[in-house]
A and B are shown apart, each in its own frame.
Chain A
């Protein structure tokens, strides 16, 4: 039972959430519950940073640099959405103490996902994560859109889990093992069943990261779910599913990458182009962010498709920058509020430069960064990805990526145009809300100063890629 010691962060978060579940019944102040939840996430981050390389439970659960970095990113995303919960819990009709608890539970699932080295554990982690997310999407019972989001996400999520299980059964059937490393030893080169298995597992995971042929749920769920939860959807689960995809493909099928590389190339090209074109017609900022996240996942998948140390490194950098930019944007969306009513249309952002000059500058910089304009962080994220693609001789992928990001720049820049050049409106509550300012200013600053100090992030990403090569 010595090995359970290495599961400390997961066990700690689980115990904390069960304790909070009990105390929530008696302590009526949701604020306190939320503070304790954030505190326990911070403690879990500290524990994770102090762990060293381990593989436990018959090599089915791995703690290495890669999983540590991804876990910290996931926990930052969860903590960010908990902070967003402070300011919006009453107006979004999600004033329930179960919110932080459900977030903590699905965070456990994500942590298991990025550490799992076994088909069974991977599926259990994925289900643990998704079940929490289904409930969170439908949490606002007064809103028809929120219920629709929950139902849509649940049905399509169940379908994708079915595809995933079908693929897992093929892989198990043709290799006789569930452990990723043992699968790598036991498969036979020309097995057709194995390839079908990989295809199905990839499509199940592509659903979870909302890559293009499986993206249909994303805009509706993003729009329907309450904003702090939309933020959570955009941040943590995608990073977790990405980490799982990388470990599954590289650990078990790293040798036959020719077979799955083309799937990833197709998915990433389709995601980039589709998101760039479809987002142009959007008028709702949350829907726009949904398409934006589909596009960003497309770029991140290039990093996986490279199958090289540079690829994994650039993927990690890209996801970190994606996380920071999205925290900032979603914190900003929550500030668009007056008289306890939220505004989600892009046209509602007009006149921001007059009423909130500082946040107008910041959010414009964020849009430039999302579009990938130098010298902001978003540019460097794309730059490393395209560099990795060129180094792996995938020029077509890099060129299509650049074209898609040029098309995509249109809808990000339109927001800047609306902020600065359209007819002004009355002012919003703005970033005066303390809990949002805590998220908005530091993350925006990070995006701006990344070009001066890129080395720390790059070093971290390098250690992550060393876990595989």
Chain B
């Protein structure tokens, strides 16, 4: 067993265990922490596959931004930590059945497929012209040329997500007093400077 294989098995077994913990941990905060562990190990597998750019993106975006956001939300929402056992037992058989079907499919496919080495090389390096380049350079050279439409449409998807979340949550409340800075500043004509004498005060109109 080579070092690569050994590290692969370590990473993937940690991923599987932590994914299991994500759905079975009683405390939601622990679930999110296990999710972060799964992401980190997935990044490790990307590194083994020489996809270092994807690995870094996975850590920066998923661990750095998404999971931390999850953590904030979970901590703020005050979710009850007790899960009703009866629900789990109720859906257990059908869940196990679907899981079994998926695993059976994967096993059948694996048994019936002859993986040839030439195929593997095509798959791991589909575009010959990038054989010499590093990962990041290769992505950069196609992202704005061949894949410009894909890239821009992904941006549009994010825009829709933003519009959608605002549409669904923003409510215009009546009777809320807001500060209008320009109005305040243009009040100067209405302001009088009065010299208030001691112990007399003035009348406010």
Contact = CB atoms under 8 A, between A and B. Distances in A.
A102 B164 contact: yes
A437 interface: no
Interface string A1-31: 0001001000000100000010000000000
**B interface bracket (residues with beta carbon within 8 Å of A):** 20 to 34
Nearest to B122: A176
Nearest to B121: A176
A414 to B, nearest CB: 36
A131 B167 CA distance: 13
A132 B149 contact: no
A124 interface: yes
Given A132-B164, A173-B123, A125 B146 contact: no
B163 to A, nearest CB: 6
Interface in A52-105: 57-58, 60-61, 96, 98, 101-102, 105
B113 A193 contact: yes
Contact of A98 (B122, B161, B163): B163
B112 interface: yes
B157 A124 contact: yes
Contact of B156 (A58, A128, A150, A176): A128
A327 interface: no
B111 to A, nearest CB: 9
B153 A112 contact: yes
A131 B160 contact: yes
A21 B163 contact: yes
Interface residues of A, number: 39
Nearest to B163: A98
B95 to A, nearest CB: 14
Contact of B160 (A61, A135, A173): A135
Contacts of B160: 102, 105-106, 128, 131-132, 135
A120 B150 contact: yes
Given A102-B164, A128-B157, A141-B168, A57 B149 contact: yes
Interface in B164-178: 164, 167-168, 171
Given A98-B163, A131-B157, A7 B123 contact: no
Contacts of B157: 124, 127-128, 131
Contacts of B105: 196
Nearest to B110: A193
Contact of B161 (A108, A131, A141): A131
B156 A57 contact: no
15 contacts: A57-B147, A98-B163, A102-B164, A105-B160, A108-B153, A109-B153, A120-B147, A124-B157, A135-B164, A141-B168, A173-B123, A176-B126, A192-B109, A193-B113, A196-B105
Interface of A: 4, 7, 14, 21, 57-58, 60-61, 96, 98, 101-102, 105-106, 108-109, 112, 120-121, 124-125, 127-128, 131-132, 134-135, 138-139, 141, 150, 173-174, 176-177, 191-193, 196
